[in-house]
Amino acid sequence: MVQRVVPDVVVRRLTQYYYALRHCQERGVEVVSSQRLGEMLNVTAAQIRKDLSFFGGFGKQGIGYHVGSLLEHVQRILGLQQEWPVALVGLGNLGRALLQYPGFAQEGFQIVALFDTDPRKVGTTAGQLVIRDNNEIAQVLPAAGVRIAILALPPDEAQEVADRLIQAGVRALLNYAPITLKVPAGVWVRQMDPLLALQSMTYYLVRVTG
Amino acid sequence: MVQRVVPDVVVRRLTQYYYALRHCQERGVEVVSSQRLGEMLNVTAAQIRKDLSFFGGFGKQGIGYHVGSLLEHVQRILGLQQEWPVALVGLGNLGRALLQYPGFAQEGFQIVALFDTDPRKVGTTAGQLVIRDNNEIAQVLPAAGVRIAILALPPDEAQEVADRLIQAGVRALLNYAPITLKVPAGVWVRQMDPLLALQSMTYYLVRVTG
DNA sequence: CACTGTGAATTGGTTCACAGCC
DNA sequence: GGCTGTGAACCAATTCACAGTG
C-alpha cells in the first residue's frame, strides 16, 4: 500500500502502537506479532497490519515485527524524534497542574512559554517561567518556533486566544476549554473535555439491563 | 427511524448538541435549525438531523427545533436529569486539580469518595472528603451507589484499581492513566491522555507543506 | 418558503481470507 | 507452521436529495 492519504483514525492508533512498542522494549521483548500487539491494545491483528502497511512493510512473514526497528519507524512517522516547544495559555488550577505534569517533558514536549490575562498573575513565575500577558503571544511564539499550544482557560476566552495563537504560527491546539474552536484548514485541534466523556457514558449507564 | 442500536459516535455528538443547545438557551434563542446548530459545532446539518432521528422527530418542518424542548429530550436521553455520584482514585497533582474543578459538580457529577494507596495521604482530607485506602473500595462504593470512577494514578496501578472498581459495581471509567484498560462487556472507558493527543498532531506538523 | 425526516447513494473503515515468505 | 501484506468483501457512517409539512 504505502502512504496514500492516511485516515486520522490510523494516525491516532499509531500513537497507541508507539506506547505498546515501548512497553515491549522496556521488557526486553525483541519481536512482536500483530496478534500480540492487538491483545495489548484491544485491536484486531488485521487492523494493525493494515495500519502499518500504510507506511511500509515493517514486518517479517513467519516472524513478526522487530520491536526496536518498528519503534524507530513509528517514532519518525509521528515526528517524535524531535523536541517540540509548547506554549501553555491559562494558569488556573488546571494550567498549573499541567505545568507540573512531568509527562510532557519526558515525551519531548517542553513547555517554554506561559500566558494569562490576569494582571495578578502576569509577571509572576510558575515552574521557572515568567507568565506573560496574552497580548505578547505574537512577539514571543514565532521567535521561539512554537507550533503547539495548550489551552487551559475559560470557554469565553478560548476562541480569541486560539485566533491569536494561530496568527502567531501555532498549528496544533490541545483544547481543555469546553467549546468547539473554529480554526482554518491546516490547524489541528484535539478536544480534552472530561465532562463530554462522562456524559457520553451516562447514556449507557441508564440503559444497562440487569 | 427511532431507536435501533445507536452508534457510539452519535452518542458522543449528542453531548455536543447538549452544550450547544444550552448555549442557545442562555442567549434566549428559542428555536434553532439543524443548519445553525451545525455551524456552531462544525457538523453538517444532515448529520444532526440524522443523529436526532435515532431518538425521535423533535423538530418541526419549516421551523426547526424548539431549544427548550429538545434540550430536555437530549438531557433525558443522556441520563442527565439525575445526579451521578463519582469516585476519584489517585490524589496526586492531577487528582487534586480534578477535585478542585467545579465543572463536575455543576454538571451533576458529585465526587463522593476519594481513594489512594499512599499511607501519608490516607486518612487526610481533601476538599471536605477523607481519603481512604484503595482496599476500602469494595466496602464504600456499593453503599454509595457509585457507578462512575475517575482514575488519576500511575499506569502500573491502573488496571488493578480498575478491576476492583468494577468488582464494586463501577461501570464507567474516566481514565487518565496512559494505559489500555481491559474491561468486561458492560463497562465503558473513556481515555483522557493529553500525550496521545499531542503525538497524533505532530504527525501532521511534520507534513505541513508551506 | 424554510426546514425536517429519511430512504438511497456514497464514502470510509474494518475484517476476511489467502498467497507468499521465513 | 507461523505470520505478514493486501485485495476483496463486508459493514458502518456520512452525505445527498427530496418528499412532506407547518
Instruction: Find the residue closest to C22 using CA and C1' atoms.
Output: A62
Check whether B1 has a pLDDT greater than 90: no
The pLDDT tens digits of the residues spanning B34-49 come to 999 999 999 999 999 9
- The verdict on a CB contact (< 8 Å) between A16 and B180 is yes
- Residue B96 cell numbers, joined: 487534586
CATH of B84-196, one of 3.40.1160.10, 3.40.50.720, 3.40.720.10, 3.40.50.1220: 3.40.50.720
Bridge partners (DSSP) listed for residue A60:
A64
Check whether A99 has a pLDDT greater than 80: yes
- The verdict on a CB contact (< 8 Å) between A190 and B198 is yes
The pLDDT tens digits of the residues spanning A49-95 come to 999 999 999 999 999 999 999 999 999 999 999 999 999 999 999 99
Cα–Cα distance for residue pair B127/A74, rounded to 1 Å: 43
Residue in the structure block whose three cell numbers are 474543578: B101
CATH of A8-77, one of 1.10.10.10, 2.60.120.200, 3.30.70.1450, 3.40.640.10: 1.10.10.10
Torsion of CA B124, B130, B136, B137, to 10 degrees: -130
Q: How far is the CA of A22 from the C1' of C22 (A)?
A: 25
Q: Where are the domains of chain A?
A: 8-77, 84-196
The contacts of residue B106 (CB under 8 Å, 6+ apart) are none
Cα–Cα distance for residue pair A31/A68, rounded to 1 Å: 8
**B161 near A CB under 8 A:** no
Look at residue B209 in the predicted model and tell me its pLDDT. Answer: 72
Q: Which residue from B118, B81, B101, B75 is spatially nearest to B176, judged by alpha carbons?
A: B101
Q: Are the folds of A8-77 and A84-196 the same?
A: no
- The verdict on a CB contact (< 8 Å) between A174 and B197 is yes
DSSP A111: E
Residue in the structure block whose three cell numbers are 494516525: A11
Cα–Cα distance for residue pair B8/B16, rounded to 1 Å: 13
Residue in the structure block whose three cell numbers are 445507536: B6
pTM as predicted: 0.96
Cα–Cα distance for residue pair B184/B182, rounded to 1 Å: 7
Give the number of other CB atoms < 10 A from CB of residue A210. 3
Average pLDDT score over residue span B196-202: 98
The pLDDT tens digits of the residues spanning A107-136 come to 999 999 999 999 999 999 999 999 999 999
Look at residue A4 in the predicted model and tell me its pLDDT. Answer: 75
Which segments of B79-193 does DSSP mark as H helices, in order?
A: 93-100, 103-106, 137-144, 155-167
